[in-house]
C-alpha cells in the first residue's frame, strides 16, 4: 500500500509531465510558425505563478526555487556531474524546478531503502521519473546504471528470498553437522576410556573370562 507521500509524489510527477508535454507542443507550434527563439542554459524563465509548489521553505538554486530540504542533494549532483539541465528542452523555471525535485526524490529513495524495503510503487516512480528526465534531456546518464540495477534486483526479489532461505538452511545444516561430529568425537573418546578401564579391572581378577553375575552358583550340584 503506497504512502500518502508516495501518492502525492506520483501526482506531482504526472502534473509535471502533462505541463511539460504542453510546453513542448507549444514550442513545436512556435517553431512551425517561424517565431521560435533559441534559449541558452543560463536564460531559463522563472514563472511568477507557483502552482502546485510545496509549502516547505524554498531556496534559490541555480536560479530555480527548490525545496530547502532537497538543496544538499542537488548541490552534490552539480558538484559531481555539473549542470545537468543545460540541454533541457524545457525552459520554464517552475517545471525545471519540479523536475529537479523529482530527481532529488529519486536519490532519496535509492539512498533510503534496501533491496528488501523497496516497494512496487517506489520502483514505478524510479522508472517513470528517469524516463521523463531523459525525455526532457536532463543529463542523467550517470543515474541510469543504478536505477536499472535497482529495478532488476526488485524483480529478482522472490528468487533472492529463496536463495537467502536456502543459504540459511544450509548454514543450519552445516552447524548441526559440526555439532554432531563433535558429539561423535566425544563418544569415541568415552568409548576408548571405558574400554581401557574394563581392561584394567579385568587384569585384577583371579580368573579369566566373563562372569554372568546372575548365574546360580550351585547350578551344577546334584
**Residue-level pLDDT at 138:** 95
Residues 141 and 169 in one domain: no
**Residue 152 burial by Cβ neighbours in a 10 Å radius (0-12, 13-18, 19+):** exposed
Residue 92 lies in a domain: yes
Going by pLDDT thresholds of 50, 70 and 90, the confidence category of residue 23 is low
Q: Name the least confident of 62-76, 108-122, 189-203.
A: 189-203
Question: DSSP string of 56-89?
Answer: S-EEEETTEEEEGGGHHHHHHHHHHH--TTTT-S
Cα–Cα distance for residue pair 139/85, rounded to 1 Å: 7
Residue 50 lies in a domain: yes
CA 39 from centre of chain: 39
State the Cα angle at 106 between 56 and 86, rounded to 5°: 85
CB atoms within 10 A of CB 219: 6
Cα–Cα distance for residue pair 106/128, rounded to 1 Å: 10
What pTM, to 2 d.p., does this model score?
A: 0.59
pLDDT tens profile 123-177: 999 999 999 999 999 999 999 999 999 999 999 999 999 999 999 999 999 999 9
Model confidence at 93: pLDDT above 60: yes
Domain encompassing residue 62: 4-155
Residues 94 and 172 in one domain: no
DSSP tag of 64: E
Residue 19 lies in a domain: yes
The number of folded domains in the chain is 2
Going by pLDDT thresholds of 50, 70 and 90, the confidence category of residue 12 is low
Amino acid at each position: 500500500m503506497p504512502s500518502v507521500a508516495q501518492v502525492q509524489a506520483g501526482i506531482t510527477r504526472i502534473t509535471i509531465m502533462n505541463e511539460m508535454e504542453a510546453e513542448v507542443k507549444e514550442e513545436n507550434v512556435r517553431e512551425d510558425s517561424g517565431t521560435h527563439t533559441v534559449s541558452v542554459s543560463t536564460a531559463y524563465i522563472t514563472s511568477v505563478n507557483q502552482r502546485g509548489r510545496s509549502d516547505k521553505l524554498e531556496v534559490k538554486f541555480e536560479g530555480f526555487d527548490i525545496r530547502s530540504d532537497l538543496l544538499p542533494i542537488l548541490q552534490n549532483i552539480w558538484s559531481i556531474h555539473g549542470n545537468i539541465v543545460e540541454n533541457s528542452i524545457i525552459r520554464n523555471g517552475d517545471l525545471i524546478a519540479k523536475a529537479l525535485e523529482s530527481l532529488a526524490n529519486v536519490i532519496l529513495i535509492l539512498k533510503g531503502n534496501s533491496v528488501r524495503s523497496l516497494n512496487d510503487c517506489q520502483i514505478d516512480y524510479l522508472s517513470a521519473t528517469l524516463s521523463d528526465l531523459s525525455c526532457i534531456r536532463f543529463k542523467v546518464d550517470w543515474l541510469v546504471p543504478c536505477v536499472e540495477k535497482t529495478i532488476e534486483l526488485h524483480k529478482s526479489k522472490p528468487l533472492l528470498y529463496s536463495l537467502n532461505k536456502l543459504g540459511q538452511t544450509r548454514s543450519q545444516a552445516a552447524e548441526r553437522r559440526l555439532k554432531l561430529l563433535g558429539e561423535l568425537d566425544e563418544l569415541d573418546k568415552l568409548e576408548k576410556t571405558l574400554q581401557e578401564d574394563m581392561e584394567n579391572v579385568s587384569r585384577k581378577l583371579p580368573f579369566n573370562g566373563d562372569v554372568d553375575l546372575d548365574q546360580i552358583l550351585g547350578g551344577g550340584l546334584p
